[in-house]
Structure 1
Amino acid sequence: MPGVMVVNNGGPEIEGKTTIYVVVSAIMAAFGGLMFGYDNGIAGGVTSMDDFLEKFFPDVYQKKQIVQENNYCKYANQKLQLFTSSLYLAALFFSFVASRICTKHGRRLTMRLASIFFLAGALLDAFALNIEMLIIGRILLGVGVGFANQAVPLFLSEIAPAKIRGSLNVLFQLCVTIGILVANLVNYAERTSTLMDGG
């Protein structure tokens, strides 16, 4: 595989070349960090949107209209907390599962599974009709995040030539940060649009 450092038995290390294939592969793999960053940033904005609360958490929506001083009183709802935390709990648990899959079946398969789980979770949340669908979607997103967080940094380390390994490894963290930024921009745009509409 291009970019992999090979160690001869007792001989000198042979460094792989930095090729376009290696760099593009690293950038594409690092996009797995966008999933975690985006999901990390988007939940706070979504759970404060009136349309979302009115449809899925009407009691929280009512509290929000009445209680203006204390955010805890507004959002004190176990199902809402489960909606938010389910992704993180699933990501934590399934990162251990992904570790075994990475070892047995490789990084590429694990990253493909991450993409499938993430896509399934995103579709389920996008078309959710009730709280249960929302939470299951968030759990699937968490599974995808757990798989990606386990496989992507390993994949990047393995394909990167030694002289640019640090640069390629940091792409994952960069993509996480970009995902958080995009999520906050989406939240800001939605909030601005709501205020302009008089909401």
Structure 2
Amino acid sequence: MPAGGFSVSAPLGTELEAKITPAVVASCVMAATGGLIFGYDIGISGGVTSMDDFLREFFPTVLEKKKRNQVRESKYCKYDDQGLQLFTSSLYLAALAATLFAAYTTRRLGRRTTMLLAGVLFVVGAVVNGAAKNLAMLVAGRILLGCGVGFSNQASKNFFSLAGPSKQRGIHQNI
């Protein structure tokens, strides 16, 4: 076995040599960020929606109810405010819609370009959310973040599934 590589057993009992190169590592790290940005957003948005400063700036009626202990918690919703629900759900709805378009973009532009586009959308969405002055800007930023998440989730899974050697992908000629 050559230095810097590892062997993978092929289904037919032959050995395939695979080298871990800087390009392979960079590609895997780039593709793995597709899931990372989704998880990061879930953690951040969940925490920020319970912060008094955030509620004071964007949802003052929710903060007033919270301070007066008038928040009626249910199994489904802590704060009964449609604007806050729009803020939270806009990312997920945008991600769902973007995933449908990401398949087309991946076919036309390729996996790497689609993942780069996802990263750009996510960064622009984060900047818009960071600069937000009102609910409309927050939702616009969340929609951009959702588009980034949708594109990255579709393209990165596709990238990972095709990154391995063709003999190891489960594709057989006699099917």
The one of 41, 44, 52 aligned to 1:42: 44
Could you tell me which residue of structure 2 aligns to residue 29 of structure 1?
31
Query: Counterparts of 1:38 and 1:147 in 2: how far apart (Å)?
Result: 16
Could you tell me which residue of structure 2 aligns to residue 144 of structure 1?
148
Letter in 1 for 2:45: A
Aligned counterparts, 1:1-199, within 5 A: 17-20=18-21, 21-67=23-69, 70-72=72-74, 75-161=79-165
Query: Counterparts of 2:82 and 2:38 in 1: how far apart (Å)?
Result: 23
Structure number with higher relative contact order (C-alpha < 8 Å, ≥ 6 residues apart): 1
Are the equivalent residues in 1 in contact too, given 2:65–2:71 (CA < 8 A)?
Answer: no
Deviation at residue 18 of structure 1 after TM alignment: 3.0
Cα 1:130–1:120 shift into 2, 3 Å: same
Query: Counterparts of 1:76 and 1:127 in 2: how far apart (Å)?
Result: 25
CA displacement 1:23-42 (0-9 Å, x = unmatched): 33212221121111111222
Letter in 1 for 2:98: F
Deviation at residue 105 of structure 1 after TM alignment: 1.6
Unaligned runs of 5+ in 1: 1-12, 166-199
Aligned pair count reads 153
CA displacement 1:122-160 (0-9 Å, x = unmatched): 000011111110010000000000000000011112122
Q: Which moved more, 1:14-23 or 1:44-53?
A: 14-23
Letter in 2 for 1:135: V
Are the equivalent residues in 2 in contact too, given 1:18–1:161 (CA < 8 A)?
Answer: no
Query: Counterparts of 2:70 and 2:167 in 1: how far apart (Å)?
Result: 55
Cα 1:161–1:22 shift into 2, 3 Å: farther
Deviation at residue 70 of structure 1 after TM alignment: 3.1
**TM-score computed with the length of structure 2 as normaliser:** 0.79
Larger helix proportion, structure 1 or 2?
Answer: 1
CA RMSD after TM alignment: 2.4
Query: Counterparts of 1:74 and 1:19 in 2: how far apart (Å)?
Result: 48
Please say which structure displays the higher CA radius of gyration: 2
Query: Counterparts of 1:106 and 1:135 in 2: how far apart (Å)?
Result: 29
Deviation at residue 107 of structure 1 after TM alignment: 0.4
Cα 1:48–1:164 shift into 2, 3 Å: farther
3-state SS of 1:31 partner: helix
